[in-house]
């Protein structure tokens, strides 16, 4: 079990680095476009590249943020519960999140398939949409594994 958790940590870390690289790319592209626009020569397709990058940033960093427990939670409510009830509440919320991310991931894979089949591309740069949908869908399934491991840690008493 620990070996699987180590693999999940490494995968999440790699995905997080990819998300960070996409965010850095967005920042530099936006600054460059603003400077070039001031000179009368905007960068073609900036809006599309920023939109694709944003999808990568959001999708790829979700597992790492969850593992780092960087999300917002209602500590006022949870702190008032007993340790056992807190474990039950944390397990219930993780199970609901698993259900949500399975649905989102599955639908993103279906959308990716439809986009690939239809050959839909962005208007300016003609970049295909389907790889982004597939990648973010896979990241949703990685997030499901994060929640499963969190549930295991909750009931082992290692989560708090």
77-122 confidence digits (pLDDT tens)? 777 888 888 889 889 999 999 999 999 999 999 999 999 999 999 9
Query: What is the pLDDT at residue 146?
Result: 95
27, two tokens: 């920042």
> Residues 14-36: what's their mean pLDDT?
96
Q: How far apart are CA 73 and CA 66, in angstroms?
A: 11
Q: Which residues pair with 121 in a beta bridge?
A: 128
Q: How far apart are CA 126 and CA 83, in angstroms?
A: 54
Tokens 């920042």, residue?
Answer: 27
**Torsion angle defined by CA atoms of residues 144, 54, 7 and 149, in that order, rounded to the nearest 10 degrees:** -30
Please report, rounded to a whole number, the percentage of residues in the chain having pLDDT higher than 90: 78
Q: What count of Cα atoms within 13 Å lies in the side-chain half-sphere of residue 63?
A: 31
> Residues 143-150: what's their mean pLDDT?
95
142, two tokens: 């990685």
Confidence of residue 61 (pLDDT cuts 50, 70, 90): very high
39-48 confidence digits (pLDDT tens)? 999 999 999 9
Q: In sequence order, which ranges of the chain are alpha helices (DSSP H)?
A: 2-38, 46-67, 75-79, 83-118, 130-156
Residue 159 has pLDDT above 80, yes or no: no
């Amino acid at each position: 079990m620990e070996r699987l958790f180590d693999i999940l940590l490494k995968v999440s870390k790699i995905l997080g680095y990819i998300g960070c690289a996409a965010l850095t790319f967005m920042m530099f592209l936006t600054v460059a476009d603003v400077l070039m626009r001031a000179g009368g020569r905007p960068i073609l397709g900036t809006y599309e590249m920023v939109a694709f990058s944003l999808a990568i940033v959001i999708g790829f960093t979700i597992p790492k943020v969850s593992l780092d427990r960087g999300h917002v939670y209602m500590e006022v409510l949870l702190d008032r519960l007993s340790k056992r009830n807190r474990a039950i509440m944390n397990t219930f919320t993780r199970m609901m999140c698993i259900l949500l991310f399975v649905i989102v991931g599955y639908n993103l894979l279906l959308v990716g398939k439809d986009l690939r089949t239809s050959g839909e591309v962005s208007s300016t740069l003609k970049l295909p949409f389907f790889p982004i949908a597939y990648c973010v869908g896979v990241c949703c399934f990685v997030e499901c594994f994060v929640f499963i491991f969190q549930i295991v840690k909750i009931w082992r008493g290692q989560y708090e």
